[in-house]
Chains A and B, each alone.
Chain A
């Protein structure tokens, strides 16, 4: 009797938390649809049909909505074991639908993706050599972020090739196309996360909610239609392939049982998994961090060969389409690594020690710290530590030591954290996300009129 009552209370609480999450997301989307907000980038009128319901999205409302969403998410995770799979899927689908219907949130990046695509398709320009400022009269130019107007693309050649068809759709069509791509990529990522959780005998509902109902994932990642969603899909496809070991088919030859398929099938899957990591890295380079851990844990030739074949094919297509600049990922990464954002942890630590910001020498110190962390994790993986967890720790370390930190960068380790054997990774990832959200609240404490 007592347990039934407690169960009912739990279900009511879960319902309230779900409503809070949906309401917070709807508030951001409906207010954002009105535009004229510093939080909503200038955009073609894709969410005009939602106008008139909300008010102009200000920092105060946005921050309150994000805090409510984050608190409800924390409560939801605590109660996740009481939630049925069906309700979890309905909640995550509803959050996705609300964001998909609304405007582009919080970032102009998607317009850079479209600008690079239009440069290649409509203007015959190489996006690895020119910035969007070379297409001043193109209709997408006015939507590109000020900081990125003169910057050539830093994304991998596979992503640039994937984005090219969107350049044929017109700006509005391309925005919807990019939103759809992010939505489908997210659906794929969540499906694969669920699958991996089942393979590892972890609760798939917890895994689904931890990723698919995460406020940064929904509002920043999906809301901005970032290509990180596609990167996460390829990352999880690689992990899923690497984790799944199919049972061998048994045949009898002359009365003896022969198991066929395990070694050969395992080799093929391991090779394909490594190849997928490389494809992911040719979308966005960060995911390459998984490769050494995957290779080290398998200790087979197949992943090395798979990675080399994928790299060869990717480099060949990148070179054919964009020349040598299309495959020079290292210099693009170095350029990005030199940027500094106010939200980055190194900047915050510099302020803590009375420095006005990050200096060039700090970049070297941070890189050295990252190298040490990766070397330690490689050693641990060699000695049997879970390679998925080691990859997740590396992605988390990259985002924490980066001087250029954006909300969607802290999403990288999340799908790995929910399926890792080391549960400290999930706690650490969520703690870092919580600090990132906490860092945003200054305008709530002291608003500037």
Chain B
């Protein structure tokens, strides 16, 4: 007699039938399996929906960023590839800020000009409705911004 069956016969065997441990599952009507499979399919459906929605969202963001980068290069006339981009994660809006050097150099090593991009994509570009400058080698923080113009003149974006 195995140890398991020994324990079962002594202690666990006294449990009511519905609580007693089993070596193999009792063949049921299949109702539980049906319920489990339905739940699994619903979970899969939710995950699939969330995945597709997220891919579409990410593709939209990529599309927008590509337009932002094109706009920055078009406005400044510089074909720089190392531009920094910042999205409005907290407000969940489509406002992006694109910064890049004003003269040739390593990324962020020169005075930077930043554009605040808003609105829809028209002919592959977006409207740069405002912006500001940043000194070299600093992070984009409100206190560091200067010579703000257009929509970026708001006190929430620029100190002066």
- B76: CB under 8 A from chain A? no
Q: Which among A13-21, A273-281, A349-357 touches the partner chain? A: A349-357
Of the candidates A352, A400, A432, the one whose C-beta lies within 8 Å of that of B54 is A352
Known: A299-B12, A356-B89, A385-B25. A345 touches B66 (CB 8 A): no
| A136 CA / B10 CA spacing, docked (Å) | 63
- Residues of B within 8 Å of A432, CB to CB, are 47
Known: A266-B2, A351-B57, A383-B22. A431 touches B49 (CB 8 A): no
How far does the Cβ of B53 sit from chain A's closest Cβ, in whole Å? 5
Please, which residue of chain A has its CB at the minimum distance from the CB of B91? Answer: A356
| Number of A positions contacting B (CB below 8 A) | 39
Known: A298-B4, A442-B59. A351 touches B53 (CB 8 A): yes
| Number of B positions contacting A (CB below 8 A) | 40
Q: Would A438 and B55 count as touching, CB distance under 8 A?
A: yes
Of the candidates A263, A352, A428, A435, the one whose C-beta lies within 8 Å of that of B2 is A263
**0/1 per residue, B108-139, Cβ < 8 Å to A?**
00000000000000000000000000000000
- A301: CB under 8 A from chain B? yes
Known: A382-B21, A385-B25. A449 touches B4 (CB 8 A): no
**0/1 per residue, A422-445, Cβ < 8 Å to B?**
001000100110010011011101
Please, which residue of chain B has its CB at the minimum distance from the CB of A357? Answer: B89
**0/1 per residue, A77-102, Cβ < 8 Å to B?**
00000000000000000000000000
- A256: CB under 8 A from chain B? no
Q: Which of B40-71 contact A (CB under 8 A)?
A: 40, 44, 46-55, 57-60, 62-63, 65-66, 69-70
**0/1 per residue, A264-302, Cβ < 8 Å to B?**
001100000000000000000000000000001011111
| A448 CA / B64 CA spacing, docked (Å) | 9
Q: Would A383 and B46 count as touching, CB distance under 8 A?
A: no
- B7: CB under 8 A from chain A? yes
**0/1 per residue, A387-414, Cβ < 8 Å to B?**
0000000000000100000000000000
Q: Would B51 and A442 count as touching, CB distance under 8 A?
A: no
How far does the Cβ of A407 sit from chain B's closest Cβ, in whole Å? 14
| A263 CA / B12 CA spacing, docked (Å) | 20
Q: Would B62 and A442 count as touching, CB distance under 8 A?
A: yes
- Residues of B within 8 Å of A300, CB to CB, are 3-4, 7
- Residues of A within 8 Å of B55, CB to CB, are 438-439, 441-442, 445
Known: A266-B2, A385-B25, A448-B62. A435 touches B40 (CB 8 A): no
Of the candidates A299, A347, A383, the one whose C-beta lies within 8 Å of that of B25 is A383
- Residues of A within 8 Å of B50, CB to CB, are 345, 348-349, 351-352
Q: Would B7 and A348 count as touching, CB distance under 8 A?
A: no
- Residues of B within 8 Å of A438, CB to CB, are 51-52, 55
- B8: CB under 8 A from chain A? yes
- A124: CB under 8 A from chain B? no
Q: Would A439 and B54 count as touching, CB distance under 8 A?
A: yes
- B14: CB under 8 A from chain A? no
- A447: CB under 8 A from chain B? yes
- A330: CB under 8 A from chain B? no
How far does the Cβ of B37 sit from chain A's closest Cβ, in whole Å? 7
Interface centre among B48, B51, B57, B62 (most CB of A within 10 A): B51
Known: A299-B12, A351-B53. A442 touches B24 (CB 8 A): no
- A356-B92, A400-B47 provided; 5 other pairs, C-beta below 8 A? A299-B12, A345-B50, A441-B55, A442-B58, A442-B59
Residues of A that sit less than 8 Å from B by CB: 262-263, 266-267, 296, 298-302, 345, 347-349, 351-352, 356-357, 380, 382-385, 400, 424, 428, 431-432, 435, 438-439, 441-443, 445-449
A-B pairs with beta carbons under 8 Å apart, 29 shown? A262-B2, A263-B2, A299-B12, A345-B50, A348-B50, A351-B50, A351-B53, A351-B57, A352-B53, A356-B90, A356-B92, A357-B89, A380-B25, A382-B21, A382-B22, A383-B21, A383-B25, A383-B26, A428-B44, A431-B44, A438-B55, A439-B51, A439-B54, A439-B55, A442-B59, A445-B55, A446-B60, A448-B66, A448-B69
